[in-house]
Amino acid sequence: MSHAKGDRRERELVNRLDAAGFAVMRAPASGSATERELPDALAGNGETFYAIEAKSSSGDPIYLTGEEVEALVFFSQNFGAKPRIGVRFDREDWYFFHPSECYTTDGGNYRVKKETALESGTDFDELTGDSSRTRLDDYDG
């Protein structure tokens, strides 16, 4: 994925969070211009605060290095935010995961497959509190 496409996806996420009533800022130096690792976006609505590492893909699995995820968790703990990995696959919406919900490879990296995102990721409305998901295993049936 090109940097331009990644930047466009990050701006899209920031704009959607803003429209959902969150105060949000994109960290323009994320991934490059600073020695401190910063998340791609910070968002809060007065009750819930997120530090988000955003990744997108045309359909291939999304990988994050162990260092990226460790930096996200470290920053989130110090800032008082919930760490979230936001993934967006072409022609799909955003889905979010706590780092502990992601598959960890033998090499210590993190992976999210498209089918995993669609099946078990937190969707945008659930992240922003506009809906909640009821799962079959929530029923005693």
Binding residues for Mg(2+): 10, 40, 53
- The H or E element spanning position 68 is helix 66-79
Going by their DSSP bridges, the two strands 49-57 and 82-89 should be labelled as parallel
Q: Which residues are annotated as a binding site?
A: 10, 40, 53
Residues involved in catalysis: 30
CA 60, distance to chain mean position in Å, is 17
Rg (CA), the chain: 15
